[in-house]
Structure 1
């Protein structure tokens, strides 16, 4: 019997061999890094504390604002939208070249996004009903549902931009950036209504999405445009934080007067430009790293389950937190108030446990991310390759 290491090496070689030679593996690597940033970010800056038999959400950033630089590393949504725009623009152009209509193309793209969502919503509808019937506090149930739903609104924006790809694929990113700036001036400078800020939910993420479309058209073949994005975005974000009154954290902080993320502000857009520039500059090193079969296999398999990981990582964290209550309601780094450096150290020790819980969620629900298999005609030989290998070229 072969060892686990030998089996993994064999699988890695098969995944590497099943990948088309012309595939840009750096794109998959950037998507995997973006998803990993979101997961680690939520696990580190979201905490559930035990209060009077219930649970409430608390952010370490509210108690330790000096942790704001952590959000600069782990808030990777701009890279997620950059890659999404790049892949959608390329995919739509390829579909048109093959004679595939818009309807068929968009159904395929959105189906991959929304099939896993149905499983999350169905499970949590049952869980929420069971908790309420079992006497759980409504505030606790609302807290849990809010954490489950928080990734979904990003997914809705992403789906809307994907569906609008034919309309926005050639839009200059300057225009949505100007919309964000105008909305901010109206909100913060002219006393405009708060609701107008939600225009930036689309305009703000349209900036990296259209940058991705420009990338697909060859706009970043040379390094200079990416360097300008990195330098200009970083300088703009720093200026807005230092002198514009924007918060330093690039994620929402409960109780803060202004959030850079909900909805996106000019500071978040400038920060996203810097992230996109850095991501584009990293393509070369990432492409070289992806030539190693074992490294590539990890990234490829991660991409095949990207939506499962994205949708279920909060459930994994909450499951560990809830099960921890069976042992104690005061476990450091899990139920305690995140207000000290000791909490950070304890939280880091919980990350492998969260990852193990996420692996359980993946094993149970990743099947919903795969497209339904077409039915074979009688007498047609069956393709016995594992699903992950069949789908590598479409991830």
Structure 2
């Protein structure tokens, strides 16, 4: 298909975009991704006590011989970014059809992601300060705090590319193939530079290029490109993408462990994203039938309502549950002890229940006003830009240096400032007009 023909098809798709409804399969896939991440992180937390009473931390699942092959299916970052691209571009097209500006979209996405992160940063700052004052070993404290901050790595990259949606969507509508080609080429250049220099900081530039590419796949999904392919074509595309990823591994360019390829991001994640979106489309009819069940829809809806809070707070809960398990004899035994593995389903269930309970008072941070509340003046484009930078700064700091006490404290202040700026400025009572507040979860 030529670029002109593809552009006309995309224009036809975007002309009816305001009427596009949410895809239940996308909601199901997003929830599945979050639950898989929680399970993976649970299996990476092992604590034992040596003969001297000293705590020893380990990553049990990574010691298993089957772990590396499983990461080829378990690395769901590309899929989640692509699904986020689908929801973002459909939301942006609706907003644009209603007369909204790109800066309005950036404001909503910044608040949507920064507000839930604020209480986590504040919690870590306070908790780390307390354990420091009571004399907890600094190395143990830093390891725990860094572990709690692991989910923020994803949030930083996600917010970065989500803020670019209005501009990336415009490029997609003008030249979809060229946009993908440029992003892929830029990712390859960064990969090569990283391989030659060995600099992690150079490789981290692909947080933008790899993240943007897989997000663009969600735009193509929204336009129906994947849906217009036959099952055979989709399977061939998935096999080809996995094959190219394996070539990168066999040549020594990328790691066989797909989790390693996340930090810094590599082109292999682009290939995984293509394969995952192709397979999602292959199984879409079966998954749609599953979502036709009222009970399944209800369960997905319940989790989706607090998805970001569940994602951000599962690591503190895992740490707390693991610490409490030390009070139970043999509960913290180390793999390959069968008792440790046998207890994982129960611990997983306990973690989900506790995270859900914790999320109840925190869910308010997932709710935000699409327009400033009554008595507030909408922020200017400049203020929205500043708020986005303030929100991104501490999150990107987590990518560069891991979460620690100092970053948690500074991040709390910056995220709070971002939320305040995006809220807008109060209007004097004499000039204020009633303004109906609309709420949204997305």
Question: 1:169-318 residue pairs with structure 2 within 5 A?
Answer: 169=169, 170=172, 172-188=179-195, 190-224=196-230, 226-244=234-252, 246-251=254-259, 259-318=260-319
Distance 1:147 1:185, change over 3 A: same
* 1:173 and 1:208 in contact (8 A); partners too: no
Question: 1:95-106 residue pairs with structure 2 within 5 A?
Answer: 95-106=95-106
Mapped to 1, the partners of 2:267 and 2:49 lie a distance apart of: 36
Distance 1:197 1:21, change over 3 A: closer
* 1:81 and 1:208 in contact (8 A); partners too: yes
Mapped to 2, the partners of 1:309 and 1:201 lie a distance apart of: 23
Distance 1:21 1:93, change over 3 A: closer
Mapped to 1, the partners of 2:155 and 2:257 lie a distance apart of: 22
Shift of 1:64: 2.0
* 1:184 and 1:265 in contact (8 A); partners too: yes
* 1:151 and 1:310 in contact (8 A); partners too: yes
How many residues in Structure 1 have an aligned counterpart in Structure 2?
353
Question: 1:322-361 residue pairs with structure 2 within 5 A?
Answer: 322-328=323-329, 330-331=330-331, 335-339=332-336, 343-361=340-358
Distance 1:58 1:179, change over 3 A: farther
Mapped to 2, the partners of 1:200 and 1:278 lie a distance apart of: 24
In structure 2, what is the equivalent of residue 4 of structure 1? none
Query: In angstroms, what is the RMSD of aligned CA positions?
Result: 2.9
Question: 1:13-52 residue pairs with structure 2 within 5 A?
Answer: 22-50=21-49
Shift of 1:203: 1.7
* 1:41 and 1:71 in contact (8 A); partners too: no
Mapped to 2, the partners of 1:181 and 1:324 lie a distance apart of: 45
Distance 1:302 1:343, change over 3 A: same
* 1:227 and 1:281 in contact (8 A); partners too: yes
Mapped to 2, the partners of 1:163 and 1:195 lie a distance apart of: 22
Distance 1:342 1:324, change over 3 A: closer
Shift of 1:316: 1.3
Q: Structure 1, residues 259-308: CA drift from partner, whole Å, max 9, x if none?
A: 21111223333223222221232322222222222111111221111101
Q: Structure 1, residues 310-366: CA drift from partner, whole Å, max 9, x if none?
A: 1011111111011223345x52xxx34344565433333421222222222222322
Q: Structure 1, residues 193-245: CA drift from partner, whole Å, max 9, x if none?
A: 34211112222222210111222233223134643441222112233334436
In structure 1, what is the equivalent of residue 365 of structure 2? 368
* 1:71 and 1:250 in contact (8 A); partners too: yes
Mapped to 2, the partners of 1:21 and 1:150 lie a distance apart of: 34
* 1:63 and 1:339 in contact (8 A); partners too: no
Mapped to 2, the partners of 1:229 and 1:130 lie a distance apart of: 52
Mapped to 2, the partners of 1:282 and 1:267 lie a distance apart of: 23
Mapped to 2, the partners of 1:131 and 1:200 lie a distance apart of: 36
* 2:306 and 2:363 in contact (8 A); partners too: yes
In structure 2, what is the equivalent of residue 6 of structure 1? none
Q: Structure 1, residues 177-206: CA drift from partner, whole Å, max 9, x if none?
A: 333333333333x35534211112222222
Q: Structure 1, residues 34-70: CA drift from partner, whole Å, max 9, x if none?
A: 2122112211233344466565542225422322233
Alignment TM-score, normalising by the size of structure 2: 0.72
Q: Which moved more, 1:164-173 or 1:29-38?
A: 164-173
Distance 1:160 1:191, change over 3 A: closer
* 1:180 and 1:204 in contact (8 A); partners too: yes
Unaligned ranges ≥5, structure 2? 1-18, 376-433
Unaligned ranges ≥5, structure 1? 1-19, 252-258
Q: Structure 1, residues 96-150: CA drift from partner, whole Å, max 9, x if none?
A: 1101122222222221212111111111211111111111111111111111211
In structure 1, what is the equivalent of residue 389 of structure 2? none
Distance 1:58 1:180, change over 3 A: farther
Mapped to 2, the partners of 1:232 and 1:174 lie a distance apart of: 17
Mapped to 1, the partners of 2:97 and 2:294 lie a distance apart of: 31
